[in-house]
Amino acid sequence: MRITKTVSFIFQFATIGLAAAFVILYLYPTLKSNNDVPEIVEFHESTRPALPAQTGPVSYATAVKLAAPAVVNIHTTKVVTERNSLFDDPFFQEFFGDSFGVPRKRLQTSLGSGVIISPQGYLLTNNHVIAGADEIQVALRDGRSAKATIVGTDPDTDLAILHMKMDNVPVITLGHSENLQVGDVVLAIGNPFGVGQTVTSGIVSAKGRSMLGISTFENFIQTDAAINPGNSGGALINALGELVGINTAIFSKSGGSHGIGFAIPLSLAKDVMTQIIQYGHVVRGWMGIALQDVNEKLAKSFDLDTTDAVIVTNVIRKGPADNAGLTRGDVITHINDKPVTSTHTALNLISQENPGTKIRVKGLRDGKSKTWTVDVVQRPKQDISKIGN
């Protein structure tokens, strides 16, 4: 009997011990035997040797010395006619007639920046800097100044070409904006707030920015180099002092720099400049349609299996697209066999075609495949005024 009790006691003790051990191992897994195989954590470590303490220049003074002399201040003047709205009141007109309501004229001035890109005296700037100006005065860093005339403008890219007559003008070296990478150092040179030539530094924050509502054809370099009112038309240079962009606008709710600025890449500006000097205007194809991007909701309603397309929202009567049979609600997926993923892509593909050429447009109408052949024409001048800085 005593043996049975003893065995029962040992069994109960062992059971309690095993339960306690299980609880302890559950709460403290590190107490497991070293014989257990641990989980292997993988890391991707750099194989590059350690970099020296200083990996870049301590100054960009050399780059600024090369580029800054070719960056100019632009002063514009235009005559503004004003009439006091008080004199339009019938009460005043009854007693005083029109003698007191004679419009008055005053001079309105504004400031901007520009870049000398040719020893012949050609300058690049923004269209909104000189739009509506009756007189344009260019001031160089060396103290010289001269009047400038407008060679041509392109509101669709917010660019303008000016010309001034002056000997021995400093000229900026043109770089290659297409080689820029996100993270590259860039410097903005201009005349912010009219305080005089100023240099700010930053990096390329992004490339190919579009859909910003700044201009029709957008392909901006985004930078955190401070761009403020008055910097418009100034130079964005790389660390070697080469021009890579034309400063154009800022993203700001207060009017000051928030570290998001936009510049027109030199590759685009150079093409516009060359065409304006050669032809007096930019040669672009035009179809006469308005387009809209396809989102998931629209794709579902049009029974599309992709959002890589655009929808025709309007067609200019008797325009190229109208003559080709395109109509509102048509879906465009390809232009000259190149996929159309957005309105930005479509506009670029159309504008790259020379007027007088035929382009093939593929798409859908009522869910069925359709192809149109469109005779593109010269894009008409757009009388648009954009607010920059």
Taken as a whole, the chain contains a residue count of: 389
Going by pLDDT thresholds of 50, 70 and 90, the confidence category of residue 389 is very low
d(CA 73, CA 250): 19
Residue pLDDT, tens place only, 213-262:
667 777 889 999 988 888 899 999 999 999 999 998 776 665 556 678 89
Residue pLDDT, tens place only, 341-362:
888 888 888 988 888 889 999 9
Which of 29-43, 85-99, 263-277 is modeled with the greatest confidence?
Answer: 263-277
d(CA 127, CA 160): 5
Q: Which of 238, 268, 267, 270 is nearest to 67 (CA)?
A: 238
* CATH node for 177-278: 2.40.10.10
Instruction: Answer yes or no: are the C-beta atoms of 223 and 232 closer than 8 Å.
Output: no
Q: What amino acid occupies position 358?
A: K
Instruction: Answer yes or no: are the C-beta atoms of 244 and 221 closer than 8 Å.
Output: yes
Domain 71-164: CATH architecture, name and number where available: Beta Barrel (2.40)
More confident position, 8 or 169: 169
pLDDT at 174: 93
* CATH node for 285-378: 2.30.42.10
d(CA 100, CA 87): 7
387 has pLDDT over 70:
no
CA distances from 91 to 82, 83, 101 (A): 20, 17, 13
Token pair, residue 58, equals: 């301590």
pLDDT at 4: 60
Going by pLDDT thresholds of 50, 70 and 90, the confidence category of residue 139 is very high
- Topology alike, domains 71-164 and 285-378: no
Residues in Cβ contact with 51 at an 8 Å cutoff, skipping those fewer than 6 apart = none
Residue pLDDT, tens place only, 85-100:
555 666 556 655 555 5
Among all residues, which ones are annotated catalytic?
128, 158, 232
Cβ atoms within 10 Å, residue 83? 11
Token pair, residue 7, equals: 């065995």
42 has pLDDT over 70:
no
187 has pLDDT over 50:
yes
Q: What is residue 257's three-state secondary structure?
A: coil
What is the residue extent of each domain of the chain? 71-164, 177-278, 285-378
Residues in Cβ contact with 62 at an 8 Å cutoff, skipping those fewer than 6 apart = 241
Arithmetic mean of pLDDT, 287-312 = 87
